[in-house]
Amino acid sequence: MPLGEAMIPIEDRGFQFADGVYEVIVAYEGQPFLLDEHLARLQRSADGIVLGLNCSSLNLEGIIQEGIQRSGYDDVLVYVQITRGVTSRQHAVTTELTPSVVLTFKRKPIYEPQLRTEGVSLETTADIRWSHCSIKSIALLANIMIKNAAKHRGFFDAIILTDENEVLETSCANVFVIREGVLQTPPASDRILHGITRGFLLDVARKEGIANEECAVDLEMLLKSQEVFITSSSIDIFPVRSVDGITIGDGKPGPITRRLLSSFPKLK
Catalytic residue among 106, 108, 136, 207: 136
Active site residue 136: yes
Please say whether the beta carbons of 217 and 196 come within 8 A.
Answer: no
Long-range contacts: 3-8, Cβ < 8 Å, 24+? Answer: 3/104, 6/102, 6/104, 8/100, 8/102
Please compute Rg for the chain using Cα positions. 19
Instruction: Output the furthest CA–CA distance in the chain (Å, rounded).
Output: 59
Residues labelled catalytic: 136
